[in-house]
Amino acid sequence: MQTLTIKEDAFLKEEHLFRFTIPYFSAKREELFHDIFYNGPSVMTLTSPSLLESAHLSSRTRALLLDRLDSPQERPCHLSLDSFSLLERICDDILPQHLLLPDGVNVPLAFLLDQALDGLRDGWRYADLPADKEAWEKGLHSIEAHAHARHHRSYHTLSSAQRGELLDHALEGTLPEAVPTSLTPHQMSLWSCDLRADIIGTFFAHPVVQEALDISALLTGGDDHLQGFQEIGLNQRDLFEGL
């Protein structure tokens, strides 16, 4: 099976410093159409994504988006606490959300990824990897082991350049064989592809992100019929897509 390899990662630059993830707590389900609350050093309120109120969004799709907003957990369901903490840092390294979203807004990617480990997911996995829960726990453990072997320090305390270099080696399958880890360098390459794809996919599937980046791809129709898009040319927009 061929593996998609990303040769360059524009996000992993030295100037991108650590950014602490703001724990995310959604409002009650019945209040989701009004406000989403982010609890951090100071509490901020973000208006609920207007796309959730669009008549061009089916009730089934709206329910799925609401589920992504409603993330009440405070602890991981499947990953160990150490692995979950490491995943939070890696999510920030691979996709620094402050470059794309308004100040203070942070999608809880690690929580959503942890939740997804107990779902249907995409229905397949690499034959050379164990089941998803085991693969993610072992992959994160292996990242930490390679950080200690290479730098004699935890991944959390490495510089941005060191973290980026380690993640790139993991993706390219060039981590040293001699380091005793849960996954081999070949397995780490496969798992790293899943890691990056799931981080990016989870991010863009979130309604807050779709609202912030003006993504209207889900507005294909309501419950009665599939309305679709009429204006499909470059820089053309249907009236229901807004400005």
- State the distance between the two ends of the chain, measured CA to CA, in whole angstroms: 43
Could you tell me if 161 and 16 are in contact, meaning their C-beta atoms sit under 8 angstroms apart? no
Residue 104 lies in a domain: yes
Distances from the Cα of 14 to the Cαs of 17, 18, 97, 168, in angstroms?
A: 7, 10, 16, 14
Residue 14 lies in a domain: no
Structural domain that includes position 100: 24-241
Residue 22's pLDDT is what?
26
Return d(Cα 216, Cα 241) in angstroms, integer. Answer: 6
* Secondary structure of residue 184 in the 3-state scheme: coil
The pTM score is 0.73
Residue 17 lies in a domain: no
Distances from the Cα of 54 to the Cαs of 28, 48, 57, 208, 232, in angstroms?
A: 20, 12, 6, 14, 19
Residue among 158, 132, 133 at smallest CA distance from 144: 158
Return d(Cα 87, Cα 117) in angstroms, integer. Answer: 13
Residue among 67, 66, 107 at smallest CA distance from 88: 107
For residue 221, the 8-state DSSP code is: B
Residue 7 lies in a domain: no
The sign one gets for the Cα dihedral 72, 78, 81, 87 is negative
Residue 10 lies in a domain: no
Residue 239's pLDDT is what?
73
Domain count, the chain: 1
Residue 6 lies in a domain: no
Residue 20's pLDDT is what?
25
Residue among 165, 171, 164 at smallest CA distance from 188: 171
What strands, in cross-sheet order, belong to the sheet with 35-38? 24-25, 35-38, 44-47
Return d(Cα 131, Cα 117) in angstroms, integer. Answer: 10
Residue 34's pLDDT is what?
34
Residue 186's pLDDT is what?
97
Residue ranges in the chain whose pLDDT is less than 50? 1-47
* Secondary structure of residue 180 in the 3-state scheme: coil
Distances from the Cα of 68 to the Cαs of 23, 205, 208, 209, in angstroms?
A: 15, 8, 9, 11
Return d(Cα 173, Cα 211) in angstroms, integer. Answer: 36
Residue 198 lies in a domain: yes
Residue 36's pLDDT is what?
31
Residue 9 lies in a domain: no
